[in-house]
Every structure is written in structure tokens, then in C-alpha cells.
Chains A and B, each alone.
Chain A
Amino acid sequence: MSRATMNLAPTRVAAPRLSHLSWLLLAVALAAGFGLPGVVASVLVLTLLTQAVIGGMLAVGVGFLMRQNGVVSFGHAAWYGVSAYCLGLLLRHEVVPAELALLLALGVPTLMAFLLGLVIVRVPGVAFSMLTLAVGQAFHEFSMKAQGLTNGDDGFAIPLPDSLFGLPISVVQQPETMFVLCWSLLALVIFGLYVTVRSPFGRLTEAIRENEERARFIGYKTVLPRAATYAISAFVAALAGLLFALYNGFVSPEVLHWSLSGSALIMAVIGGSRLLWGPALGAVIFFFLKDLAGNLTEHWPAMIGVTVIVVTVLMPAGIAGTLAELFGRLRKAGGGA
């Protein structure tokens, strides 16, 4: 028997196991979320942090799409806004119980994104970005024009119930508790995405991102995994939109506007999308910069713009990516000493 024949035993391709460090980091992140409101006395700062975490979740969705599919979405506000409107409309018209409305607000945009993804992920690069922008603006226009349904430009207050899943509604409307909820969900989302990217599915989508043609010629259909990735990123955006709607108790066309998609993209670029938590860090920087710059000048977007230029030129991997590189170098230097 030849060596080759002897070696033909099937090789099981198993998903890499999660390290103890991954679980430890999740536990630390969750604990930090619970501990932070006790340290931060200012309600204003907590409010800002809560907004940053919700924005961060939207940016994490955008970053995940960039990381796994290698494409940029200019229209992720669509899934954020559809989720918020979905919750608002279902509660306003008392169509279903509030708990089911929450689930539908997550499921509907995710399903819509998946179906749309089956079409638009076939289009490469800038054309994909333009399509996402077009779709996002179509939703925005619909929310403006469908006065009878959405109350148009004015939006509407969401009639939230007294409790959700047995918890008083104040939990989602006070910054102290809402921050903990949002932070915990963000940590779980990042952890879930981490598990996803390390799974065989995650590796496959990275391979497709790297070289779609080669992936096809080793036997893979490439549209489905790319559409699934788009749907996962839309789910994360929808979760952010849902939290926004619960926290604010109000929804208007602003949540569907391209400028929100643009802000999420800026957060992802500042933080960097190579690391899953990069866009969340970018969101915190974005919100605090916006707040600080907003107190100094009405031209605060110019300062954000300068920051984006500086980060793009000096740190192409984003702030998180650069920090990770520095940490890697320090570890190497420490190991070599």
C-alpha cells in the first residue's frame, strides 16, 4: 500500500474550541457593564454612554459586514430603523403582545435583509454600497410619505407597555439600568460574532471574501453565505434599533436616514473592523468627540472629519487594530527578552 493510500483517512474539520480567555473576557466585560453605573455618577455621562453603546452596536453590525464580506454598507440604518418602526407600529396598533413585537422587530428586518442580500451581495464593491444606500433611502422615503402609517416626518411616540418579560418598563428607560442592558447585549453580540467568525461558516465567508472565484472552484456556492453574513449584520443593526426605540419611546424617519448609516460607518472606520470590538470603541470615541466638539463649535462634524482622515492615514487598521498590533509587538518583544 502506498503512503498516499494509507493517508486517505478522512480529516475531520472541527471548529476551533473557544479558549478560557475568551470566556474570561466575556465575564469581565459583563461585570464591567454592571459596575460602571456605580462609578459614573453623572446621569448625562451615562446617557451619553448608553447612546454610544447603542450606536456601537449598529457600528459593530457594519464592521462585521466589512470584516466578513469585505464590503461597505451605506444603508445599515435601514435595518436599525425598520426594527424601531416595526416595534412602534406593532405596539401602536396593538397587533401582537409586546414580547412578540420585540421578537418580530428583530426577525422582520433580518429576514428582509437576507432576502435582499440574496440579490445585492452578487454586486461587488462600490456598486454594492450604492445599492445599500438606495435601499436605505427608499425606506426613509417610505417613512416620510406613508403619513397614515408612520405619521411622516413627525414620527410618533411608541406606546410602551408597563412591563416586558416581567420587568418594569423603567428598566429600559432609565440610563442606569438601560446602560447595563445595552452593554451586556453588546458584549454578548460581540462574543456571538466572535464564535461565528471562528466557526467553519466564519472561515468560509472569510475565504469567499478573499477569493470568491477560488471558493466556487473548490465547490462552494458563494451567494448564500454572503447573504447570511449580510443578514447577521442586519440583525445586529436591528437589535440596536430596537434598543433605541425602547430607550427613547419614539420613532421618526431620522432613524432611517443615510446620515445615521454614515455615522455608523465612521465609527467602524475610526475603531477599525478587523477586530470585532473595534467599531464599538469607534462609537464611544465618536459620541464623546461629538459631545466635546459640539460644546466648542457648531462645526463639530468638521472635527469628526479630521479625526477620520487622521485615523485613515495614520492607522489604516483603525484605533483598535493599531492597539492590537502594538500589543502584539510588545508581547513579542517581551517574549524575546
Chain B
Amino acid sequence: MNGAYAIEGTALTRPYGGFFAVNKVDIAVPHGEIRGLIGPNGAGKSTLIDVLSGRAAVWSGQVRMDGRDIGALGAQERRRQGMARSFQKTNIFPELSVREQLDIAARKAEKPNVEEVMDELGLGSLGQARARDIAYGEQRRLDLALALIGRPRVLLLDEPAAGLSMRESLGLATLLRDLAQRWKVTVLLVEHDMEVVFSICDRITVLQLGRVLAEGTPDEIRRSPEVVTAYLGSAA
């Protein structure tokens, strides 16, 4: 591993229709850490993930992975560097079978670990099922599975628990914590479910109106008066 941080963004700015969705944000996530990214709607969480992952078209600042500047790389090259992401809205291949799409993802991976990922995410019995025919929770797991093929080093997750039941969300949180430790993957997690965030994150960054409002351990964030006022309220 090179560099102090697995993923690092400096002065990240993303203009969006006359205002800044992300405004001079600095974020640095050390290797193996699970970093939560929280904030009210419109705070710029998903936009920040888009900038880091190469999805955003117009932006400024610097993005580094293991100390290497990857700002000029497209989504495909970032994936080759070991960065993967999931999406806020389920982003799978609906007409392909679960197995087919994981196989396609595996063709681009140095370590095509399809069986492993299917086992980990409980998709083993759904291999032949067409993705559009499986349950929503299973589709969310498939979305995550596509990101996990090849054992990425940096995983950017945009609301992976969105639409899941409380039981499914907590199961997902446990799985993420477990995988991050075993696979030594660095995770940046955008999530509205505070139970998930506070239970698995090592540190949390709070965004508000495109800027960093606070950063710290879950306990520090819980106790931060600014964060409680701006976002957490009774959830703290």
C-alpha cells in the first residue's frame, strides 16, 4: 500500500445549476477504515461519491487513491485501480441472470471471485434467476455483489440499505463490517439509517450544504451540538 490514505479528496468542488453541491470538501479515509458520510438531504453526500468514483462530469479539486492522483481517470480505470461503488438506486442488469452479470463483472477482475461473493451475500440459490424477477432486497444485494467482485480495495457505497427492512439493514451492516475486516477493504458509506452508520463506522464525516460540518468518531459525532442541531436531532 502506498500513501497514508486509501482514498483522499482535496478541495473537491462540484458546481450544480448555480450553486455548489459540494464546496471545497476535504476528506481522507485511511486504509481499512469504514467511514460514514451523513447529512441532511441535499448535503452533497451522493455528489461527493460521484466525484470520487468518476461519475461526476464537472468538478474541481484532487482525488487520490493510495497517494496517487486518479482525478483524470474514468470510471473504468478507477475500477481497475481497485475502487468500486454501489448506487443509491438499484443499478443492476435487469434482464440478465444473477450469475450472468456477476460473470461479466468477473471478466474484468484480477481475482474473479464470483462464488465467494454469491456465498457471502446469500445469492447462491439465485444464480439462474433473472435479476428483475428477484425480490428488492436481493436486488440490493446483487448491486453490492457487482461492486464486490474482484475484492476492491476501496468501496464507495451510496445508501446500500435504502428500502431494506430493519432486519435486512442490520444484516447488511454486520456483513459490511465483517467483509471490511476480512478483505481489508476501505469503505466510504453514505447512509440515512443511523443505526447502521453508528454501529459499523470507525469515523463519520457530516456534510451540510456541500461543506464538511464535522468529523469524528461515532461518539464524538453523537455529542457534537452542531451535528445534533443540524441533522441528528433525536436520532443522537
A207 touching B104, Cβ below 8 Å: yes
Among A3, A207, A214, A221, find the residue whose CB has the most chain B CB atoms closer than 10 A: A214
B-contact bits for A1-40, CB 8 A (1 contact / 0 none): 0111001111111000000000000000000000000000
A-contact bits for B92-112, CB 8 A (1 contact / 0 none): 111110001101111111011
Residues from chain B with a CB closer than 8 A to the CB of A219 are 76, 79-80, 105, 108-109
Q: How far is the CA of A12 from the CA of B112 in the complex (A)?
A: 8
Q: Which of B102-151 contact A (CB under 8 A)?
A: 103-109, 111-116, 119-120, 146-147, 149, 151
A217 touching B85, Cβ below 8 Å: yes
B-contact bits for A202-237, CB 8 A (1 contact / 0 none): 011011001101111111110000000000000000
Residues from chain A with a CB closer than 8 A to the CB of B93 are 206-207, 210-211, 214-215
**Residue of B whose beta carbon sits closest to that of A10:** B112
B103 touching A13, Cβ below 8 Å: yes
**Min C-beta distance of B161 to chain A, whole Å:** 19
**Min C-beta distance of B205 to chain A, whole Å:** 22
B84 contacts chain A at the CB level, 8 A cutoff: yes
Chain A contact residue count (CB 8 A cutoff): 26
Residues from chain A with a CB closer than 8 A to the CB of B199 are none
A200 contacts chain B at the CB level, 8 A cutoff: yes
A200 touching B107, Cβ below 8 Å: yes
B103 touching A210, Cβ below 8 Å: no
A-contact bits for B162-191, CB 8 A (1 contact / 0 none): 000000000000000000001100000000
**Min C-beta distance of A125 to chain B, whole Å:** 18
Which residue of the partner chain, among B75, B79, B95, B182, contacts A210 with CB atoms under 8 Å? B95
Q: How far is the CA of A84 from the CA of B96 in the complex (A)?
A: 38
Q: How far is the CA of A9 from the CA of B111 in the complex (A)?
A: 8
A218 touching B149, Cβ below 8 Å: yes
Which residue of the partner chain, among A13, A211, A214, A221, contacts B107 with CB atoms under 8 Å? A13
Residues from chain B with a CB closer than 8 A to the CB of A4 are 116, 119-120, 182-183
Q: A8-B113, A220-B108 are contacts. A207–B96 as well, Cβ < 8 Å?
A: yes
B95 touching A206, Cβ below 8 Å: yes
Residues from chain B with a CB closer than 8 A to the CB of A206 are 93, 95-96
Among B75, B108, B147, B151, find the residue whose CB has the most chain A CB atoms closer than 10 A: B75
Q: Which of B57-109 contact A (CB under 8 A)?
A: 74-76, 79-80, 84-85, 87, 91-96, 100-101, 103-109
Among A4, A9, A204, A219, find the residue whose CB has the most chain B CB atoms closer than 10 A: A219
B-contact bits for A135-159, CB 8 A (1 contact / 0 none): 0000000000000000000000000
B53 contacts chain A at the CB level, 8 A cutoff: yes
Which residue of the partner chain, among B53, B96, B100, B114, contacts A217 with CB atoms under 8 Å? B53
B104 touching A204, Cβ below 8 Å: yes
Among B101, B106, B108, B149, find the residue whose CB has the most chain A CB atoms closer than 10 A: B101
Residues from chain A with a CB closer than 8 A to the CB of B92 are 211, 214
B112 touching A11, Cβ below 8 Å: yes
B79 touching A10, Cβ below 8 Å: no
**Residue of A whose beta carbon sits closest to that of B178:** A4
Residues from chain A with a CB closer than 8 A to the CB of B120 are 4
B116 touching A7, Cβ below 8 Å: yes
**Min C-beta distance of A154 to chain B, whole Å:** 48
Residues from chain B with a CB closer than 8 A to the CB of A9 are 115
A11 touching B79, Cβ below 8 Å: no
Q: How far is the CA of A28 from the CA of B13 in the complex (A)?
A: 63
Residues from chain A with a CB closer than 8 A to the CB of B91 are 211, 213-214, 217
**Residue of B whose beta carbon sits closest to that of A2:** B182
Q: How far is the CA of A276 from the CA of B40 in the complex (A)?
A: 50
Q: A4-B182, A218-B79 are contacts. A13–B113 as well, Cβ < 8 Å?
A: no
**Residue of B whose beta carbon sits closest to that of A217:** B75
Q: How far is the CA of A221 from the CA of B103 in the complex (A)?
A: 16
Residues from chain B with a CB closer than 8 A to the CB of A200 are 104, 107
Q: How far is the CA of A9 from the CA of B76 in the complex (A)?
A: 24
Residues from chain B with a CB closer than 8 A to the CB of A210 are 93-96
Q: How far is the CA of A215 from the CA of B91 in the complex (A)?
A: 10
A11 touching B115, Cβ below 8 Å: yes
**Residue of B whose beta carbon sits closest to that of A216:** B75
B103 touching A217, Cβ below 8 Å: no
Q: A211-B92, A211-B93, A218-B105 are contacts. A10–B183 as well, Cβ < 8 Å?
A: no
Q: How far is the CA of A203 from the CA of B79 in the complex (A)?
A: 20
Which residue of the partner chain, among A213, A214, A218, contacts B108 with CB atoms under 8 Å? A218
Residues from chain A with a CB closer than 8 A to the CB of B116 are 4, 7-8
Query: Which residues in A have some Cβ–Cβ distance to B below 8 Å?
Result: 2-4, 7-13, 200, 203-204, 206-207, 210-211, 213-221
Q: What are 15 A-B contacts defined by CB distance under 8 Å?
A: A2-B182, A11-B106, A11-B115, A13-B103, A13-B106, A204-B107, A207-B101, A210-B93, A210-B95, A211-B91, A211-B94, A213-B55, A216-B75, A217-B84, A217-B91
A-B complex: 6 closest residue pairs judged by Cβ atoms: A219-B108, A7-B116, A219-B79, A210-B93, A218-B105, A11-B114
Query: Which residues in B have some Cβ–Cβ distance to A below 8 Å?
Result: 53, 55, 74-76, 79-80, 84-85, 87, 91-96, 100-101, 103-109, 111-116, 119-120, 146-147, 149, 151, 182-183
